Amino acid sequence: MARLKNGILGGIHGKLANVVGYSLNGQDIIRTIGKSKKRLTEKQLYNKLKMAVVMDFLSGLDSLIEKGFGPMAEGTTKNYHNLAVAFNNPNALKGICPDVEIDLPKFVFSAGDLPQPEETKVEMVENGLLFTWSKKGFSFPDNQDQVMLFAYAPDTGDKRFKWNGARRFQGQDVLEIPSLLRDKRLEVYISFVSDDRKRAANSLYLGTING
């Protein structure tokens, strides 16, 4: 059943025949639903495969990409997950159908206009990965940005991250890695989100540990 949220001049909320209405970021959205009886073309199948690969990689990263793409989604008809998919499909894909996979150096988990970290380094320490970055040239409130860290183990599929790490002025933070993964190949990334969660930086790929 559908309802008119703000009377006859308002948007539809709910299902009415093959139409669904809902609110997103303060805007009323209407979509049609239904199944097509047409067979998919090769191009459509390829697009579905690319989407599936990206969606699978983003699985389990919801709270990370919410902080990474949420600021950009604010005030638009997109949500953070839509943007995460759009930024990585097809930009972070490689291969020819049916052998499509994530191009790890091109994967991003955040985007925005905050400054990227500079002079970044990462190394394995006793309890995980030690990330360091330059803290020069930043004053309040920019020095209060929080670091976001991500590590992916291709051999096992494990993903480790934090979205509320150290402040930019601190210059370092550790991403805890379970002992079973510390000798595995790890692809590592870093970014920043503002203290008020209204801005984010473009995430930065830092390379491979144990490669």
**Number of structural domains the chain divides into:** 1
- Quick one: pLDDT band at residue 11, thresholds 50, 70, 90? low
Per the domain annotation, does 49 fall within a domain? yes
Instruction: List C-alpha distances in Å: 13 to 4, 6, 80, 88, 149.
Output: 6, 10, 21, 31, 38
What is the predicted pLDDT for the residue at 19?
A: 54
pLDDT of residue 42: 83
Q: Within a domain: residue 32?
A: no
Q: What is the mean pLDDT of the chain?
A: 90
Structural domain includes residue 139 = yes
Give the CATH number of the domain where residue 74 resides: 2.60.40.10
The verdict on residue 147 lying in a domain is yes
Question: SS3 letters for the chain?
Answer: CEEEEEEECCCEEEEECCEEEEEECCEEEEEECCCCCCCCCHHHHHHHHHHHHHHHHHCCCHHHHHHHHHHHHCCCCCCHHHHHHHHHCCCCEECCCCCCEECHHHCCCCCCCECCCCCCEEEEECCEEEEECCCCCCCCCHHHCEEEEEEEECCCCEEEEECCCCEHHHCEEEEECCHHHCCCCEEEEEEEECCCCCCEECCEEEEEECC
Fill in the amino acid letter for 157.
G
Does residue 182 sit within a domain? Answer: yes
What are the tens digits of pLDDT across the range 108-159?
999 999 999 999 999 999 999 999 999 999 999 999 999 999 999 999 999 9
- Inside any domain, residue 17: no
In a domain, 71, yes or no: yes
Asked whether the whole model's pTM tops 0.85, one would answer: no
- Domain contains 35: no
* The predicted structure's pLDDT at residue 4: 47
The boundaries of the domain holding residue 59 are 42-209
- Condensed to tens digits (0 to 9), the pLDDT of residues 29-71 reads 555 656 666 888 888 889 999 999 999 999 999 999 999 999 9
Least confident of 4-13, 39-48, 104-113, 187-196: 4-13
